[in-house]
Amino acid sequence: MRKFTLQPDSSKPEKSADFISELNEQQRKAASHVQGPLLIVAGAGSGKTRVLTYRIAYLLQKHHAMPHNILALTFTNKAAREMQERISNLIGEKASELWMGTFHSIFSKILRFEADKIGFSSNFSIYDTSDSENAVKLILKELGYDPREIKPRTIQRKISDAKNQLILPDTYKTKFVFSTLDDITAQVYDVYQVRMEQANAMDFDDLLIKPVKLFNENPDVLEKYQDKFRYILIDEYQDTNHAQYKVTKLLADKYQNICVVGDDAQSIYSFRGADISNILNFKSDYENAVEIPLEQNYRSTKLILQCADSIIKRNEKQLQKTLWTDNDNGETVTLLENFDERDEANRIANYIKDLKLRHGYAFNDFAVLYRTNYQSRIFEESFRRKNIDYQLVGGLSFYQRKEIKDVVAYLTLLVNPEDEQALLRIINEPSRGIGNKTLNDILKKARTERRSVWSIINDVESYDFYKPAKSRISSFVDMIDKLRAQLASGTAILEVTKKMLEMSGYMKALVEENSAQALTRRDNVLELQNAIAYYQQSTKKPSLASFLQEITLITDADKYDENIPAVTLMTVHASKGLEFPVVFIVGLEENLFPMGARDGEEANIEEERRLFYVAITRAQKQLFLSHSKMRYKFGEEQRQVRSRFLDEVDPGVVRTETGATIRQNNNHKPGKGNFSEIEYDWKKPQKSEKSSKNNITYEYEYDEDPFRPGIHVLHPAFGPGKIVQRSGSGRDSKVVVFFKNRGQKTLMLRAAKLKVISE
C-alpha cells in the first residue's frame, strides 16, 4: 500500500447571520429549542451533526450564551473536531472556547483540575487497555494464578464491565460472585484499584466513574460545574453506558437544559456497556422533555433506504420514526453469491476496478465492511495482487507498536514517576543489566512495605539487592531525574524527547541492531518525534501530560482519513458515523453476521440486526451485499448458511448475482491453491440424454471431463456431493468433493467413478 501526503484545506466559507434558515423544518425546531430537556431522534443520514452544530451556534449568537457555558460530548475526537470547525465557520473564534470533546477527554480534563479531592495528583497517568491487561497479569501472578490459564484480558473485561455499571470492588465481591472466574475477578479487582491509586493512574473506565465519585462526595464541586455547564449536548446518546448516563444526569439536574441526539436503531455497543434504555427512557427521566424526530435522509438513495427499513422494522424495541428521502431511486441493491471467501474478495476487487473505470469513482469512494477484524486479511491479499490501494482501519495502531509504547513509557515517567507499568516496561529497555530476579525482589519489597516501585528504587542503596544491579538502577533514576528537571525548566517536549532517546541509549540500540525490523522501528520513533513537533506547533499551551493524554485517547474512528485515495477496510462498528458512495457488506453468513452466541448467552439478534442496519445506511449510491457458500474455519473448509438477514431484505430492491464460469486468471496454476481466482457457476447442470423421473444422471467418457467446481456429482460409496475444488491435469487431476453424508473428500478423478447428477 502506497503512502500519501495531504495538503490541508485552509478555506473557511462564511455564513450569513440567518444561518438557521438553511435547515429543514424539523431541524430548525431542534436547533432553536433552547430551554428544557430535548430528545432529537435522528435517523441515519438525517443531518444530526448539522443540527448539533447549528444549535450551538444559535445558543451563542441568539441567546448570548457564553462559550464556556456549553458542554458538547461526542464519541470520537474526529466528530468533535468536525463540529468545532463547522461552528467556527458559522460564528468565528468563539467556537475555540467551547467545552467540546469525547466523554473521556472532557472528564479527564475536569479530573486534572479536581484530582486532589479524590486522592490523585493532577499528573495522573491514563492506562490504555493493554496497560490495564499488563497490570492484571502481574496481579494474577502475585495471587498465584497462571495467566496462561486465567486470561488477563478476560479478567480486565469483567472489571471494565463492572466499572461501567458503577459496581466497585466491595459491591462486586459481595453481590456479583457466582462462579470461580467471578471470585478470581473479585480478588484481582480489589488489588487492581489499590495499585492504580498507588501508581497515580486511571484507566479508561475510571475517567467516567471517578467524576461520579467526585460529584457525589463534593456537592460544592458538582454545583460549580452545574453552573458552568448550563447547556449540555450529547451526541450518539444511544451508545452511552450507565456511568455516562449517571455523570451527565448529575450535571444536568440543576438547569435541565440537556439535549441528547441519537438513534435507537443504531445502538450497537452493548458489548462495551452501552445501554439502549438510556435513550428509550429519556422522556421518563425528564418529565418535560420534548421529542423531535429527524426523518428526512440526505445520504442514501430510495432503494438503499427501503432496504434498510425492511431490516430494522423487524426489531420490537424502538422509537417510532419513518425515514424518507427526496433522492433518486438509484441502483438496485446487488447480492453477490460466492464460492468461498477468496472468490468473494477477488470478485469485489474486480467490481471496484470496474466501477472506478465506468463511473469515475476514486478509490476512497469505496468501503468494504465486515463483522470481525480477521476478515480483512483476504481482502488485503486480493487488493495487493490487483494493485488496489487501501487503508485498514482498526488494525494495529501506531501507538500500540512496541517501540512507540517504549518511548511513551519513558515520557510517562517524566510526568508521573509513580506509574508502575511504565517503569517496569523500560527500566531494562534497552538492556542495562537489571535482571528479572532484581526486579522481582524490588516488587516484593514494594508490596511488603506498601510503597511504590519508584520510591523503592529511589532509595535502592538502603536495600540488600544484587550489588551490580543497584548501581545500574541508581544511574537509571539519575537519568530520569535529570530529564524531569529539564522538562520542569521549560525545555520543549521535543528536545527533552531527543535527549531521552540519547541518554537512555534506545536509539543507539536500534541503529546498532541494523536489522530491517530495527530500521523500521527507528523510523517509527522518528515519526513519533514528528507527531510531538506538530503538537507543539498547533497547541497554544503544549504540555507533555496533555500530549500523552491526547494520544492515549485516540479511537479507531480517529484513525480513518477520508482524504486518502484508498479503499477503506473496516468493521461495521468502526464505520459508525461515516458514509461512502459505494459500500460492500461482506461475510453475510450465520454465526458470522449475525454473530453467534458467546459465553453461553443467547445471541442478541436485535443488536446484530441494528448493526446490519448501520452497515446498510453507510451507502450513498450503491450497495452490495455478499456471502459465501464455503469458508475456511479452524483450518478446514466448511459449508456456510447464508445470513437470515438476507431473507429479511425487501426482495423488490435486490438483484442476485451468482459467480459465473468465466474469467479464469491467466496466472492460475492448478494445484497451487489459487483456485479462488476462478468465479464459479452455482447453477445446476442442464439436462442431458439419460434421465429418470426423479433423478437425472450423466455419464461421460474421461476425455469429455465435465468435472469442475460447482458441479453436483454422485459417488458409488459416498453418495451425492458437490465439487468444490479442482487441481492437477490429465491423469493427475484431483477434485475435492463435499459429500452431504460423508463430509469433504479429495479424490483422484480417473479412479473416482463419479457421475454428474441433477436433483
> So which residues are the catalytic ones?
48-49, 235-236, 266, 618
Joined together, the cell numbers standing for residue 294 give 429527524
Joined together, the cell numbers standing for residue 403 give 517501540
Joined together, the cell numbers standing for residue 574 give 468502526
In the block, residue with C-alpha cell 424539523: 26
Provide the phi-psi class of 520: left if phi over 0, else alpha when psi is between -120 and 50, else beta: alpha
In the block, residue with C-alpha cell 530476579: 437
Which residues are bridge partners to 633 per DSSP?
Answer: 636
Q: Which residues lie below 8 Å from residue 380, measured CB to CB, with a gap of 6+? A: 390, 392, 569
Provide the phi-psi class of 113: left if phi over 0, else alpha when psi is between -120 and 50, else beta: alpha
CA 137 – CA 260 distance, rounded (Å): 39
Query: Please, how many CA atoms are within 13 Å of residue 551, restricted to the half-sphere of its CB?
Result: 24
Provide the phi-psi class of 600: left if phi over 0, else alpha when psi is between -120 and 50, else beta: left
CA 741 – CA 149 distance, rounded (Å): 37
In the block, residue with C-alpha cell 449517571: 246
Q: Which residues lie below 8 Å from residue 26, measured CB to CB, with a gap of 6+? A: 292, 293, 294, 295, 296
Q: What residue type is assigned to position 34 of the chain?
A: V
Which residues are bridge partners to 747 per DSSP?
Answer: 735
In the block, residue with C-alpha cell 441568539: 62
The 10 Å Cβ neighbour count of residue 474 is: 14
Do 450 and 191 contact (CB within 8 A), yes or no? no
Angle at 666 between CA 664 and CA 669, to 5 degrees: 85
CA 232 – CA 73 distance, rounded (Å): 8
DSSP states along 434-456: --HHHHHHHHHHHHHHT--HHHH
Peptide bond into 565 cis (omega under 30): no
How many residues make up the chain in this entry?
A: 759
Query: Could you give the 3-state DSSP secondary structure of residue 30?
Result: helix
Distance from chain centroid for Cα 154:
18
Spatial CA neighbour of 525 closest among 542, 507, 538: 507
Which residues are bridge partners to 67 per DSSP?
Answer: none
Number of separate helices (H) and strands (E) present in the chain: 29, 23
Query: Please, how many CA atoms are within 13 Å of residue 710, restricted to the half-sphere of its CB?
Result: 22
CA 569 – CA 367 distance, rounded (Å): 6
Distances in Å between the Cα of 487 and the Cα atoms of 117, 121, 550, 672 are 26, 18, 18, 59
Spatial CA neighbour of 580 closest among 338, 315, 393, 314: 393
Angle at 145 between CA 142 and CA 148, to 5 degrees: 120
CA 322 – CA 639 distance, rounded (Å): 38
CA 737 – CA 542 distance, rounded (Å): 65
Joined together, the cell numbers standing for residue 88 give 467556527
CA 274 – CA 576 distance, rounded (Å): 14
